[in-house]
Structure 1
Amino acid sequence: MSTEQIPAIDVHAHYGRYSRQGVDPKIEEFMTASAELVVRRARLANIEWTIASPLKALLPRLEGNPIGGNEEAAATIDNTEGMLQYVVVDPLTPATYDQAAEMLQKPKCVGIKIHPEEHGYPIVEHGRKIFEFAARHRAVVLTHSSEQNSQADDFVPFINDYPEVKLILAHIGHGWDGDVSHQIRAIQRCRHENVFADTSSARSITPGLIEWAVKEVGPERILFGTDTPLYHAPMQRSRIDYADLSDSDKRLILRDNAIRVFNLNLGS
């Protein structure tokens, strides 16, 4: 069958109001979407499940409300068909650890989201506690990468010490210094097969980038993500459907890897 018929799983999404200092208000409006709108766009692209965190927990930069955002997400996503939840952990807001411990028991909360850049902390200083916590809960962790506070290589010592944790380095090709290889090189440095990268980067539209990533680390380590509503989910889906990859590789990226990483019971 055509790969467009594969019900995809988007492992990197958001919902809510986008807010960033210095950004044109019209762009902020374009990048804002309710959970309902996020799911409606996903359905246009045959995305069956969208795993999301609330923008309220992350934005504006250094001013997000992770406690309130997580509470809102638990209620919103629980009542939104086709959406699953990341609980946001911010080590500068210690109460998010207890909140996450409780929410990870809920069936629709399938992982932890961290964002060193938006919350303003270096992962090298706080990663040990985050990964100790994630290991206790056998959690999947999605993190922004690779800017100064979240350089992909800085995660390697932590993830090597905690093989119980599965880590997704977001945004293949994104790098504060223009180097497109950060996420992939970090995967190659890890001792265990518990580190992955997602496709949720504006760089992903660069011809050859996704194909290069698959060649370097294998299709089993690449997950489909859109970063919706910051990007248009159907466009991101098309990048995988029309990639210069085999249909079996595309199926792994679009769906099967996510089922395995998150231990989802969704059928075929």
Structure 2
Amino acid sequence: MLQAVQDTCFPAAQTLRCPGGRVLDLRRPQVMGILNLTPDSFFEGNRIGSTDELLRRAEAMLQAGAAVLDLGGYSSRPGAEDISEDEEKRRLLPAVEAVRRAFPEAILSADTFRSGVASEAVAAGADILNDISGGELDPEMLPTAGRLGVPYILMHMRGTPQTMAQQTHYEGDIVLEMVRYFRDKLAILRAAGVTDVVLDPGFGFAKTPVQSHELLRRLPELRVLGLPILAGLSRKTLVYKPLGLSPDAALTGTIAVNALALLNGARLLRVHDVAEAVQTVQLVSTTYPQLSS
């Protein structure tokens, strides 16, 4: 099984080539800052109400050391409202344009699973596509990523944000199923012409807190695929539920699980709290310098 996976995976690519000559170097761990453009984000402290506020937060994240800003107009929290493509574009596209104008050198990621939104977001200035569905919710998404020629973040999820909480039963080994899922998706991406890919295990997406903690512990097993791994753990249920807290009180726990993710091979941390995550990267990399090689 492992040899078959290695035969179909991409060459190890730790540097993502983005439009405009921008480069995301994942030879050392980096931080992606979350900019939610939705009114119902699960973490109230990250909701953005105006363009001025968006630009202030973007500037603060970049100054704190964020290597990427991830902008999303569709809430993917469990049970979130399913909005139309037009509404998603209305939220996302002006924001991408505004951040690109204000910060021309920044690397921007568009968090969307819709190919139409993806195409217009890249035209507006996005560098990377961050697809929570791995192409499952729009059959044109993977071919579109190839046509656009931008890096693609491939996440593992079952169902939709509205149904994923009911799809947490795995017949076999959860990590082995994930490796097979990524193997098959990577073959499609390669055929579509996508060359730069980051893997996202999808913590909390169709996974219970117990399953997510198992996945965090076994993250090194995904390195057989030879690609950078993104860990999106920030203030999620697997952090605050075992502690009996709320998302607003989950910063300390987030720092702890981010450190574990780095030690287990994650190269990109997707977070609400950039300064704390950058400090975590710096300290973990100081203690374990091999993580930055």
TM-score by length of 1: 0.60
Cα gap change, 1:53/1:193 in structure 2, threshold over 3 Å: closer, same or farther?
Answer: same
Q: What code does the residue aligned with 2:231 have? A: D
Q: Please give the residue correspondences for 1:60-209 in structure 2 after superposition, counting only pairs within 5 Å.
A: 61-63=81-83, 65-81=87-103, 83-91=106-114, 95-100=116-121, 103=123, 108-116=125-133, 123=134, 125-126=136-137, 129-142=140-153, 149=160, 153=178, 154-163=181-190, 164-170=194-200, 174=204, 176-178=207-209, 179=211, 180-182=213-215, 188=221, 192-198=225-231, 200-202=233-235, 203=239, 205=253, 209=257
- How far did 1:248 drift? 3.3
Q: Does structure 1 retain, via aligned residues, the 8 Å contact 2:113–2:137?
A: no
Q: Please tell me whether the aligned partners of residues 37 and 47 of structure 2 are also in contact (alpha carbons under 8 angstroms).
A: yes
Distance 1:124 1:85, change over 3 A: closer
* Matches of 2:214 and 2:255, distance apart in 1: 15
Shift of 1:111: 0.7
1:246 corresponds to: 287
Tell me how far apart the structure 1 counterparts of residues 225 and 117 of structure 2 sit (CA, whole Å).
28
- Aligned CA RMSD, in angstroms, stands at 4.2
Matched letter for residue 16 of structure 1: L
> Counterpart of 2:244?
none
Does the residue aligned with 2:284 lie in a helix, a strand or coil?
A: coil
Instruction: Could you tell me which runs of 5 or more consecutive residues in structure 1 were left unpaired when the two chains were aligned.
Output: 1-7, 117-122, 253-268
Aligned partner of 1:260 in structure 2 is none
Give the drift of 1:67: 1.8
- 1:12-31 to structure 2, matched below 5 A, reads 12-20=33-41, 28=44, 30-31=45-46
Shift of 1:134: 1.7
* Unaligned runs of at least 5 residues, structure 2: 1-28, 169-176, 240-251
Matched, 1:223 2:268: yes
- Identity, % of aligned pairs? 7
| The one of 23, 39, 53 aligned to 2:71 | 53
> Deviation of residue 51 (structure 1)?
1.9
Separation in 2, partners of 1:143, 1:57? 17
Q: Distance in 2 between matches of 1:172 and 1:88?
A: 13
How far the C-alpha of 1:112 sits from its partner, in A, is: 0.8
Aligned residues: 219
Moved more, 123-132 or 181-190: 181-190
Q: Normalized against structure 2, the TM-score is what? A: 0.56
Q: Is the CA contact 1:110–1:140 (under 8 Å) kept in the aligned structure 2?
A: yes
Q: 1:197·1:223 contact (CA, 8 Å) conserved in 2?
A: yes
Task: Encode CA deviations 1:150-202: one digit per residue, 9 max, x unaligned.
Answer: 79824442024434343434478546212224378577457642352235533
Structure 1 160/190 Cα, relative in aligned 2: closer, same or farther at 3 Å? farther
Q: Which aligned runs of 4 or more in structure 1 are off by greater than 6 angstroms?
A: none
| Greater RCO (CA < 8 Å, at least 6 residues apart) | 2
Alpha-carbon distance in 2 for matches of 1:183, 1:132: 30
Contact 1:142 1:168 in 2 (8 A): yes
User: CA shift at 1:138, angstroms?
Assistant: 3.4
